Structure 1
Amino acid sequence: MLLDMDDDGVARIRLNRPDAANGLDVELLRALNDAILTCHSDPRTRVVVLTGEGKNFCAGGDVKTFASKGTALPDYLREATAWLQIATASLLRLKTPVIVGIHGFAAGGGGLGLVCAADIVVAARSARIFSGAVRVGMAPDGGSSVTLAQIVGARKAMELLLFNPTLTAEEAQEIGLVNTVVDDADLEERLLRMARALAVLPPLALAATKRLVWDGIGASVEARLGEEARVVSELSGTPDAREGLAAVIERRPPNYSRA
């Protein structure tokens, strides 16, 4: 995890497992939470910008790590989802605005969950967004079972979570999942320009506005995080989940049971 702060009070958090498409494992999730808590405790922080290193923002959970756990996967996912819950809740509870910049894939409960927990989202044209949980015998997490519906509407959220279409940046903007789409080469410049525009505004007013908006749904989001984690852990012990993970790794269609 990379974290730095500039003179304008813009804190930059970068997911830093580029060789794994910034796939989330326990170690990365712990580091993400530590970075968020550092931003929370540092009085210089005015805005937080979250991005990913390498070719992708975040491909969701690290399926290779998950598959390697075998029958111990439910226990591992209980720990991983606990850290994801903490990180998601911490982003929602930050007093400062959170801007997420996405390029490449923002996928799975982790990638989509982080996008949905942001206050503002800027997408490069290369961005591709999908849930993917059902594809591998899992259920959505990272708060997305609540936040996605609040952002794009219940019917559209159900469609995205059940059918798992891959959205382009423009399609995501059309349904309100992202605020702005820019050329890949302009992503960094746009993120910093927006962050610095927010950084000069009254911090108490920003914090109060963010809290008023999220409190409309925030309590229900945090209340559902535990249930999401329970369901994901339970599903991860099923044959369908093991088959789904194997199919992703082996790049073949899954063969799910019909029982």
Structure 2
Amino acid sequence: MTTETTPPEALVATGLALLDLHADGVAHIRLNRPEASNGLNIELLKTLHEVIMRVHGDKRVRAVLITGEGRHFCAGGDTHTFLAQGEDLPHYIRVATGYLQLVAAGLIRLNPPVVSAVQGFAAGGGGMGLVCSSDFVVAGESTKFLAGATRVAMVPDAGVSVTLTQLVGFRRAMEILMLNPVIDAAEAKAMGLVTRVVPDAQLMDEAWSLARQLASGAPRALANTKRLLWNGIGAGVEAAMPEENNTQAVLCGTQDALEGLAAVIEKRAPRFTGR
């Protein structure tokens, strides 16, 4: 990352999602829950939505860069928080997926192009959803991707049932969402899940360079090009998310969902019974 002569303006300086505006017009959103691998709980999702709306209302923003503090970009939903809800999990998930829907739709509908820089794991509805809702994705060569929802007896959310299919194709999406393979960065690039793969040490330099290149472009032309591209699938994404959310909340009330969450935390194979 090149040295800036003008310090960025801290628009949101504290909390679970941070926002800086740089002089070149790049808004930098940072997921700030590194101790939990930026796992998404209601508090982080709510704050992230508020940050995206702050970007949406700022005409100075010409490109957006999303990063995750710590070792991992975003490890998906916070399994410890989910399991701790017990019988209240369906209600918790309804609220969480409602905010996740707003986040994914907000990124898709933002005028400025969105670049995500991904390190460590991008997993679950959170990590995979942010990746699939971004316009450009730069990944470090050691990055891993995992859908993970059916592994804990749930379904994909954040519009991934539509966006992933568009990015990688129907057959590959079926495999990713049902079999939950761990996908390395090179494979993710080959299938179209990410835009670029670079050495880990060069990740932030490459992501910043791309964001600044976009910020220097013609803003209305880029915004309208983005809109035209997303319009082909955008309606399908937003139509799918309420059904994803409702199905997620229903499944969270099952014994299999609690068993799946416990198995992930305990690092063992789940024992599903269909109840």
Cα distance, 1:89 vs. partner?
0.5
**1:1-259 equivalences in 2 (<5 Å):** 1-258=17-274
Tell me the CA shift for residue 23 of structure 1.
0.3
CA distances 1:37-66 after superposition (whole Å, capped 9, x unpaired): 111111110000111000000000000000
Q: CA RMSD in A?
A: 0.7
Q: Please, which runs of 5 or more residues in structure 1 have no aligned partner?
A: none
- Aligned-partner SS, 1:216: helix
3-state SS in 2 of match to 1:99: strand
Aligned AA for 2:226? K
**C-alpha separation between the residues in 1 aligned to 2:266 and 2:121?**
19
With normalisation by structure 1, the TM-score equals: 0.99
Shift of 1:247: 0.6
Q: Are the counterparts in 1 of residues 159 and 238 from structure 2 also a CA contact under 8 Å? A: yes
Contact 2:74 2:121 in 1 (8 A): yes
Q: Distance in 2 between the 1:149 and 1:100 partners?
A: 19
**1:255 match: secondary structure:** coil
* TM-score normalised per structure 2: 0.93
Q: How far off is 1:2 after superposition?
A: 1.2
- Deviation of 1:67 after TM superposition, in Å, equals 0.3
Distance 1:69 1:164, change over 3 A: same
1:252 deviates by: 1.2
Partner Cα distance (2:259, 2:53) in 1? 36
Query: How far apart are the structure 2 equivalents of 1:174 and 1:75?
Result: 38
Structure 2's unaligned 5+ residue stretches are 1-16
| Cα drift, residue 258 of structure 1 | 4.8
Aligned to 1:256, the other structure's residue is in SS state coil
The total of aligned residue pairs comes to 259
Letter of the structure 1 residue corresponding to residue 137 of structure 2: V
CA contact (8 A) 2:256 2:274 kept: no
Q: Structure 2 CA distance, aligned partners of 1:200 and 1:174?
A: 28
Report Cα offsets for 1:110-132 as digits up to 9, x if no partner: 11011000000000012100100
**SS of the residue 2:29 aligns to:** strand
Q: What SS does structure 2 have at the residue aligned with 1:12?
A: strand
